[in-house]
Structure 1
Amino acid sequence: MNIYSIADATKPYTDYDMIRDHTELPEFPNFRTQLLYTFLRKQSSYADQSELYSIVVSLAQLGLDTHDLVSETNERKEKKEARSRQMKVLAGDYFSSRFYHLLSQAGQVEMTRGIAAAICEVNRLKMNLYSRMRQWKMTTDEYMRFSVDIRMQLYLTFSKALEGLKPNSWHDMLHGYTQCEVLLNELGRIERERDFRCGWAFWHLLQIGTKEERKQLQNGDTDPGKLRSLLHKYNVKATLFQMLETQFKLLSDKIRQFDSEKLVGELYQIGEPFARALTAPRVLEEV
């Protein structure tokens, strides 16, 4: 079964040489966007707008995610780094402007207001998240809750439009896929030293590590070797895989409750990367 790719449909608005050559962009929010497109097509009153809505919400999300990649300071003076930072700012602004432009062209005033309000809520949640982090009060449960809620907000704009489906099905599916997405991202984050700090694994180690280990983490005194040792000592990767396995099983159980075999098949295909991630470590362990 092949699903129409919204990521491909969005490329005319995101794939520019100037951006690609001078900076790194965040990953396309594929899980949430394909999920939205799939659900909108099931609603007769929104089917004709399903591609437009999916494209604009992904552009708005890309704008937010791109701005998140901008470093807090501009201390690095290298021309290449300065250009990359500037390009992230401009790219984020551009993606946001395209979402407004496309909706205004289509006369979608209410949808523009709804997504704009959701962007405000995302920024509010991020401020609360950063405040907890700066105070060193973040727990892993809070981190997961914030991470999931922040990613869901723009897509929750469509809750009213999709309320005619199975009760709570849109919210439940969006929440389930987003939880799995966050966990999959966290598994990738622990492999990248520059992205490790302030991720789930970082806060997990701060909760369970010794006093000396916590001090080293807070002060940034952990070299790559020490960091790998801590991750191995506390089985961080295995814990994340177990969490992903649990969440994907819960999600799969909910998917099977839909009556439409076609919808079930499409939903499983969207979640295929989760299944692949869960089978990969088992293959490695058996070798």
Structure 2
Amino acid sequence: MNSYRIPEIAKQYTEYDMIQIHTDLPDFPELRTRLLFAFLNGNSKLSKLSELYTLATSLVQLGLDTHDMVTASNDIKEKKAARSRQLKVLAGDYFSSRFYHLLAQAGQIEMIKQLSDAICEVNRLKMNVYIKMKQMKLTAEDYVHQSVEIKSQLFLSFSDLMSGAYDQAWPDIFRSYAKCEMIFEEIFRVDSVDNFRWSWGFWHILQIGSKEERKQLQAEDSDQAKVRTLLHKYNIKSQLYNMLDAHTKQLQTMVQQLDSDKLISELFHIGEPFLRFLAKPSKVLEEI
């Protein structure tokens, strides 16, 4: 069995001085990468390729996430900001190109097609969400569902390979982890009013708030103090915390139904950040 060392291997592609000095990168997709590796490595037919497949997929995801950080407008006058934007574009392209190279070098042409199809699906989902957002037609429930699907598509492209005991469990367990990860991120997003727009809290208030509150949220120059008041009024962080608690418990039940003690142990270890966070509710709730 291979030991998990994907982030260390990926550093040879991500830790370039030019990138580190002039721009920032998104977080490495650690949780989803570990999940994919755990399931692939636990399959006797796939274990020899588990490291290659997981590394390639993590680089594709990092490339997509890096491109998501590129500002929509190219009208940047300040030299430092313009260079940062350009390097994000180039870095995202570079990470994606490494996935092609790694798999082609190993003769995994079918896997290149499989991941390429998944990339197309991710971009389709993103475009649909973007259109709904611009039209202000997205609900909070839609936001959760679409966010989870976007996070999951690359990794779920391996579903057909998960034969045997895990082919049924893999998609549901992965989506459940992705949902917990998404809610976890949204909890911390509440702390920054600048990042509130287009968040779960934004769509939730837009769905249930008064006409005046909805108008206030849709304004491009929303008053930050008033936004904070709405966050407290509708208990956004508390609701997200309760959502995470509920989904984590559901996930624990799903994982316990697997027939591999080793895989169960690994999956619980992967979910530890959620459990540690939920074990200290007082510090979180006192900020709400």
**Partners of 2:138 and 2:165 in 1: how far apart?**
36
**Partners of 2:182 and 2:163 in 1: how far apart?**
25
SS at 2:165 equivalent: coil
Q: C-alpha root-mean-square deviation of aligned residues, in Å?
A: 1.6
- State the Cα deviation string for residues 139-183 of structure 1 (Å, max 9, x = none): 011111110011111011110111322351111111110010110
Instruction: Describe how 1:74-89 pairs up with structure 2 within 5 A.
Output: 74-89=74-89
Q: Which runs of 5+ in 1 are unaligned?
A: none
**Partners of 1:231 and 1:5 in 2: how far apart?**
40
* Corresponding residue of 1:218: 218
* Corresponding residue of 1:110: 110
**Partners of 2:281 and 2:255 in 1: how far apart?**
24
Distance 1:17 1:280, change over 3 A: farther
Q: Could you list the runs of 4 or more consecutive aligned residues of structure 1 that deviate by over 6 angstroms after TM superposition?
A: none
The answer on whether the counterparts of 1:122 and 1:150 sit within 8 Å (CA) in structure 2 is yes
- State the Cα deviation string for residues 260-286 of structure 1 (Å, max 9, x = none): 222111101101111122123335558
**Partners of 1:141 and 1:212 in 2: how far apart?**
22
The answer on whether the counterparts of 2:151 and 2:178 sit within 8 Å (CA) in structure 1 is yes
* Corresponding residue of 2:259: 259
SS at 1:237 equivalent: helix
SS at 1:259 equivalent: coil
* Corresponding residue of 1:123: 123
**Within the alignment, does 1:173 sit opposite 2:187 as a pair?**
no
Instruction: Describe how 1:59-78 pairs up with structure 2 within 5 A.
Output: 59-78=59-78
Distance 1:21 1:45, change over 3 A: same
Moved more, 154-163 or 277-286: 277-286
Moved more, 259-268 or 83-92: 259-268
> Cα distance, 1:106 vs. partner?
0.5
* Corresponding residue of 2:205: 205
Q: Which runs of 5+ in 2 are unaligned?
A: none
Moved more, 134-143 or 225-234: 225-234
**Partners of 2:258 and 2:119 in 1: how far apart?**
31
**Partners of 2:221 and 2:283 in 1: how far apart?**
34
* Corresponding residue of 2:135: 135
- State the Cα deviation string for residues 189-224 of structure 1 (Å, max 9, x = none): 112233221111111111122211111110133233
Amino acid at match of 2:220: G
* Corresponding residue of 1:42: 42
- State the Cα deviation string for residues 39-75 of structure 1 (Å, max 9, x = none): 0011111101101100000000111111011011023
**Partners of 1:117 and 1:175 in 2: how far apart?**
19
The answer on whether the counterparts of 2:159 and 2:167 sit within 8 Å (CA) in structure 1 is no
**Partners of 2:143 and 2:97 in 1: how far apart?**
30
Percent identity of paired positions between Structure 1 and Structure 2: 53
Distance 1:185 1:284, change over 3 A: closer
> Cα distance, 1:9 vs. partner?
2.3
Q: TM-score, normalised by structure 1?
A: 0.95
* Corresponding residue of 1:99: 99
- State the Cα deviation string for residues 113-150 of structure 1 (Å, max 9, x = none): 00000000111111110111111100011111110011
* Corresponding residue of 1:233: 233
Amino acid at match of 1:267: L
> Cα distance, 1:256 vs. partner?
0.9
**Partners of 1:167 and 1:120 in 2: how far apart?**
23
Instruction: Describe how 1:172-191 pairs up with structure 2 within 5 A.
Output: 172-191=172-191
* Corresponding residue of 1:243: 243
Q: How many residues align?
A: 285
* Corresponding residue of 1:162: 162
